[in-house]
Structure 1
Amino acid sequence: MSTQEHRNKSGFETRAIHAGYEPDPTTGAVIPPIYATSTYKQDGVGGLRGGYEYSRSANPTRTAFEGAIAALEEGERGFAFASGLAAEDTLIRALCRPGQHAVIPDDAYGGTFRLFDKVEKVWGLDHSPAAVSDPEAVRAAVRPGETKLVWVETPTNPLLNIADIEALASVAHEAGALLVVDNTFASPYLQQPLTLGADVVVHSTTKYVGGHSDVVGGALVVRDLELAEQITFHQNSMGAVAGPFDSFLAHRGLKTLAVRMDRHCDNAERLVAFLQAHPAVSQVIYPGLPEHPGHDVAARQMRRYGGMLSFRVAGGEAKALDVCARAEVFTLGESLGGVESLIEHPGRMTHASVAGTELEVPADLIRLSVGIESAEDLIADLERALS
């Protein structure tokens, strides 16, 4: 067994540090260099060094990151893209054809809904929303002979519903469809969907993978090599690849993912307890709560419950907007998964694209991406904002 194969079979934290790259044989560099090159010298016509000819097709910095995220998701191949939506679009075009159909979450991320509803639908791919927390609802939404993808987020964004990945894999496969799991909220540290029967994992690597709010990117991971070849062709043909510097930053983020996620979870649990006791809060939504309808499934398929939480406030939309405006340690902003805590109003911000549709989110909902600051400071900030 090679050193890399041994590392790929090691614990998560060890793989996060070492998978995807061996120290450079020439210099001994322990971190992958940023290969800022567009093309590569060939040793004669067709004589490629390491398979590299043009950096849209492959780049060594990107290759290292793709290998690392594949190892952490326990997949066979990883693919890095310029954004999470670029990864999603490439996957859809690789696997689907006009006239086919997809099932999507009935509380999907607004950008994913927009992609399916405003881009892929025009191209000819139809879709049906379904409650991914209910396997029978997903089964009812499947169209025999037409459904190609069952697309789920777990936890969902922003209502934090939980999908039973094993159950939905059975539903999808019985219909001849593939199960795609957006694992952005959980990250590979908390959940590995491929080990539970999923066919493809999607990430916005902008979020927990990068972890520092300094890079935009996306990734796909698959376990089937034939499927990998289809994605390889479309990744190169469509060209929305991650650049070398973006790949470097995302790979750097993977190395500290485990320790960051534990702190995100610790802080989120402290805030959940605080918010549950606050009189201005009408509901706290977090999979770690025993009363959460998906708690038992989350306990079975996740290591911990994550750094994302949502809550509803008494006083409706006006109060929710006021809380967002008054927060100071929490930064008012979109995105999630960085070391800094963010607060947002989904109905006006990340999920504005679903306003007026069956996916519309409650107007009194606030979403928190809990960072790794002092939990005491975060609690004090929310106390001020809610008062």
Structure 2
Amino acid sequence: MDDIERHAPAMGAFLHLRGNALSKGEPVALPLVQSSMYHLPGEPERFSNYGRVHNATWVALEHALEHLEGAPCRVFPSGMGAISAALFATLKAGQRLLIPGDGYYVTRLLSDRYLRRLGIEVVERPTAEFTTGGFAGLDVVFLETPSNPGLDLVDLAAVARAVRASGGITICDNTTMTPLGQRPLDLGVDMVVASDTKAMGGHSDLLMGHVATRDPDLLQAVDDWRRISGAIPGPHEAWLLHRGLETLDVRYDRMCTSAEILAERLAQHSAVKAIRFPGLPSDPSHNLARSQMRRFGFLMSLTLEDAGKAEQFINTCPLLRPATSFGGVHSSAERRIRWGDAVDPGFVRLSVGCEPVEELWQALNGALDTL
């Protein structure tokens, strides 16, 4: 835990990253640069030249993300844009990719529908059995921990060591935890991807993602992919994310603290057949969570009696938004089986927001009591 705390980003310094570099008369808030063309007489040299290649708002955002991740970052127009960049930048025909069979379903769709067709062998393993069979012969190992939506965990440090020893590279989707809750790069992972649409942006009003790595060759490959493919974010979205990051620390702390309180209470409710939350001492992943996570996160899963009871709970609780995605200031929930996840019909993914915890508990408890 001491090492985990020591590698945490300094959030006070983060809030003043821009301010401490300003000249007299410059705006404190980040300007929005919205231009596809730049004044460029003569040779381009190192100047901004075209909107697909460079944007000052992206640069400021990437500087902020670099502080949080402790590594250079590149931003993308969505979380899947970041995942796609990481995979297409590291794989080639004839190679083998390992992905979690119970992770985010769109990663599986990308791998099955596109990467397989390009001559890449895709291997799937459930998160709870991810190390079974070892990692020999695998070129890229894609991890997601906690898994979405089941919240199983993988030992990041152990997998990173084993994959490196076998000659492969590791990519970790850290969307559910953010760099404030879990730091895969510090644990030896080669590359991190995340959907900043979720808690990083935090206000459910943008789509963004990023890739972070300390390997200059991997960073260059991702940079080239973005420039050549055109998978670039809009400057307004980049500006919104930069603004959202300034409140990440207080939002994330509130969400995680509330989730710990609520999980203990929800676990005792008679309408809840099962609950998964890494912060519960009874959770099968609790000890691993304590060793590699700074916080236990704001996501939990509840299994109710059946699909009808799950829908009733979600739709009658006044402080829950029935919506896909997660990580916003508003608590939200959904039945994940409707997207094809291999879960119980009564399985509910619950994202705890920033509402006052006692008010939120009264709403959740009241909705459960009616089932």
Considering the TM-score relative to the shorter chain, is it more than 0.5? yes
* Cα shift readout 1:220-251 (whole Å, capped 9, x = no counterpart): 00001111111111110011111111111111
1:381 equivalent to 2:371? Answer: no
1:142 equivalent to 2:145? Answer: no
Residue segments in structure 2 that go unaligned for 5+ positions in a row = 1-6
| Aligned-residue identity in percent | 34
Cross-structure match for 2:256: 265
1:318 equivalent to 2:314? Answer: no
Match of 1:71 among 67, 71, 78: 67
Is the alpha carbon distance of 1:18 and 1:131 closer, same or farther for their aligned partners in structure 2, counting shifts above 3 Å? farther
1:160 equivalent to 2:151? Answer: yes
Deviation at 1:345, TM superposition (A): 0.6
Which sits farther off after the overlay, 208-217 or 252-261? 252-261
* Cα shift readout 1:307-362 (whole Å, capped 9, x = no counterpart): 1111111x2222222222222210000111111100111111xxx144xxxxx122
Cross-structure match for 2:217: 226
Letter in 2 for 1:362: D
How many residues align? The count is 363
- Spell out the pairing of 1:39-78 with structure 2 (5 A cutoff): 39-49=37-47, 52-75=48-71, 77-78=72-73
- Spell out the pairing of 1:224-373 with structure 2 (5 A cutoff): 224-313=215-304, 315-348=305-338, 352-354=339-341, 360-373=342-355
Cross-structure match for 2:117: 122
Give the secondary-structure state (helix, strand or coil) at the position aligned to 2:204. coil
Partners of 1:364 and 1:20 in 2: CA distance = 47
Which sits farther off after the overlay, 105-114 or 127-136? 127-136
Deviation at 1:285, TM superposition (A): 0.4
Contact 1:180 1:199 in 2 (8 A): yes
Give the secondary-structure state (helix, strand or coil) at the position aligned to 1:347. helix
Partners of 2:114 and 2:318 in 1: CA distance = 37
Deviation at 1:142, TM superposition (A): 3.5
| Aligned structure 1 segments of 4 or more residues deviating by more than 4 angstroms | 20-24
Is the alpha carbon distance of 1:15 and 1:119 closer, same or farther for their aligned partners in structure 2, counting shifts above 3 Å? farther
Which sits farther off after the overlay, 156-165 or 319-328? 319-328
Contact 2:149 2:349 in 1 (8 A): yes
Cα RMSD, aligned residues only:
1.8
Cross-structure match for 1:208: 199
Letter in 2 for 1:64: A
Contact 1:346 1:361 in 2 (8 A): yes
Cross-structure match for 1:5: none
TM-score (norm 1): 0.89
Match of 1:100 among 92, 95, 101: 95
Is the alpha carbon distance of 1:10 and 1:26 closer, same or farther for their aligned partners in structure 2, counting shifts above 3 Å? farther
Give the secondary-structure state (helix, strand or coil) at the position aligned to 2:83. helix
Residue segments in structure 1 that go unaligned for 5+ positions in a row = 1-8, 355-359
Partners of 2:192 and 2:263 in 1: CA distance = 28
Is the alpha carbon distance of 1:176 and 1:235 closer, same or farther for their aligned partners in structure 2, counting shifts above 3 Å? same
Deviation at 1:209, TM superposition (A): 0.7
* Cα shift readout 1:230-274 (whole Å, capped 9, x = no counterpart): 111111001111111111111111111111111001111121122
Deviation at 1:212, TM superposition (A): 0.7
Contact 2:9 2:70 in 1 (8 A): no
Contact 2:172 2:184 in 1 (8 A): yes
Partners of 2:96 and 2:189 in 1: CA distance = 18
Contact 2:86 2:193 in 1 (8 A): no
* Cα shift readout 1:175-231 (whole Å, capped 9, x = no counterpart): 211111111111111111111101000010000110111110110000011111111
TM-score (norm 2): 0.93
Contact 1:90 1:238 in 2 (8 A): no
Contact 2:9 2:69 in 1 (8 A): no
Letter in 2 for 1:36: Q
Deviation at 1:377, TM superposition (A): 2.1
Letter in 2 for 1:142: F
Letter in 1 for 2:163: A
